[in-house]
Structure 1
Amino acid sequence: MNIVLGICGSIAAYKSATLVRLLVKAGANVKVVMTTDATNFITPLTLSTLSKNPVLVDYFIPETGEWNNHVELGLWADIMLIAPASANTLAKMANGLCDNLLMGVYLSAKCPVYFAPAMDLDMWKHTATQENIDKLQSFGNVLIPPGSGELASGLHGEGRMAEPEEIIAFLSAEIKKKLPLADKKVLVTAGPTYEAIDPVRFIGNHSSGKMGFAIADELAKLGADVTLIAGPSAQISKQLAVKRINVTSAAEMLDACLQNFEGSQVCVMSAAVADYTPVTIAQQKIKKQDADFSIDLKKTTDILSKLGSQKKAGQILVGFALETDNEEINAIDKLQRKNLDFIVLNSLNDEGAGFKKDTNKITIIDRDLQKTAYPVKSKDEVALDICNKIIALLNK
């Protein structure tokens, strides 16, 4: 998201460095606007380095003859956050006074505005301050309440700006409420499984887990509470909120799925689970011999079929079919046998699809056998297409 961070003249401005760092780490594009007094507490250089954007203080730039367009900046922002918000700035906001760039941006903003006050106890409790806060809230601005503790004056009480971690948590919760998958519990599987032959060797496949991780990240971005069951994979979730459960074998993945499926409203089974596993696992490394060597295999439990048989009304179950021949026929058969709501078909015959690639080419087939074919896209874009299909089903 695009976030304008306004910083006012307050000792709490020292927390702004951490706040900018956390916003950027969370994936936000941050532009900082400071009042002149704020620069006495923390330097623009520090904040521009952390935000990777120029810090704006004044309307005009005398050295270049240019000006900072407050209207464009106000329209650019998805969120405006003023932290710390001093008593002086709160009064200006409440009464529409526009004597600095920060106020110009505030009065031009079309986005939600959040403010985190920072001031001494008596200033915070003053009737004028409280009336200004009430007025701002009546405008639709959102208060991030201050904490209580030791203040710069030596007094103890309310008025401390919320800690940067608390502000991030507050914004995350507010943003999540408005997302299409807010409060939906989703289970995703990704990656391969490894079936042990001995302590050294295993039977596996070429799945990297990229597609499943992209789906889990996209679902989390859309507000879902995501549990990701991942086979051996070097992939890392971009979304910190994704809860990851690591497994190795098909049996371990089955156990993890059964433990988490019942409480999930949506389940996306994108893992490449082994169909067979050795009947016996050697306890010691098998030594090479002159004679030929064979391994007896047995079928693994079909996790998707198992979940399909347990699926309750209202649950959405999504499967994947990677095919090399008779693609649609095989995918439809799998869709119907395993009680899926839709299946994502891709073919190794399609250029840009398959294991370990950053792109994929899919066709979605639903229960009514309606087919939607997509061109080659990045796996992140494919993940969004799959998530949009899930949202459409949830909204039916």
Structure 2
Amino acid sequence: MAFDSPISHQLCPLILWAASVAFANVTLVERRGRREPLDPRRQIEIRTVLESMPEAVVIVNTEGCIIDANAVAITLAGLNRERLIGMSMSSFARHMGDAEADRNVVPFQKPIIGRALAGEVVHGERRVVKPPPTGTPVQLVVSANPIRSENGEILGALVVARDVTELAHLQQRLADIDRHQAIGHVAAGIAHDFNNTLQTIAQAVAVLQLSPDRPLEERKVFLNMIENAVRRGAEVISRIRDYLRSGTNANSDVDVKSVLEDAVELTRPMWQAAQGVAVETNINPTPRIRGNQADLRRVFTNLIINSLQAMPNGGKLIVGCDESDRSVHVWVRDTGQGIAPELAKQIFNPYFTTKPGGTGLGLSGAQKILLGLGGNISFQSEPGKGTQFDIYLPKAADGKQ
């Protein structure tokens, strides 16, 4: 299942704009190719269409050189029209950022322009550029369409780029809000659990203070209680620290069994405090996978929290993992309210939520993370009976456990 970004939906009206511009520019490219003069009124019409578009628009010929651009593209590039027109797209890519310093520079010619000139329609590809003079990163969604003559001959390509920097920043802030909400759920339970740990220490210390002359063997019992309580407290703090640690793009070999056990322990105070909730674990040793441990911990924890919230009147939570062919299978199952059939197709959509105050980014973010690791997530649900989420992650190359 492909990750359905809300930014990609912004391109729907853009495609309609692109169609009208492409039609107008078939005439432009054909006439220029034959060195025929273009009717001034027709030229004004084409220029009006180009300049009315809110996106950056660049038109290239079959040699990959820019033959026209609108004002938005010129502003984005930081060049005047005379310098931009006639520039090759490879030179334009170098101008828009240093490929050696940042591999995420717009590589127009091969991945986008080359494909468009070969006849492919390219939709909504994400790129980050650093246009001069500031070099400030700009996030773009880029589409490209081949321009064809009446007999189907490719005359050039139309490239449309939308600046989605602000939208991407907003999406990141919403994702942070969703993460903080999950942290709040976990922290509320952890605080209660940690308070119990402190009470154990306080009670043991009080007994020792009341009877300082107890034999050493009796005092050892209470000292062991204190030591165990301190160890439990340290484990709680360690899990919280690991949960709060931001995921990075750096992947490593990950023990899924250990990460899933962490998620169960992080949510233990929640399901222990919930009335009528029974928890069953079937967490088996599995081969390691390539991934980011912090990201996976959050995915598993959020799925468990979702399941607990789906059982306000009690039920059963089942969490497990096992080896499955060339994958590692993780499942989280509940006997809660289930998901209505009319909502089932929307639950991985960004911003879709049925929770009051929810952001709708938990499951869509989880799907994005898992797809990025070459895995997938799916679910089965029956209203009134419960839901099971299944995650499959490819084993690491060496297959070690």
Query: What's the TM-score, normalizing by structure 2?
Result: 0.28
Of structures 1 and 2, the one with the larger relative CO (CA 8 A, separation 6+) is 2
- When Rg is computed on C-alpha atoms for both structures, the one with the higher figure is 2
Query: What's the TM-score, normalizing by structure 1?
Result: 0.28
The structure with the greater share of residues assigned to helix is 2
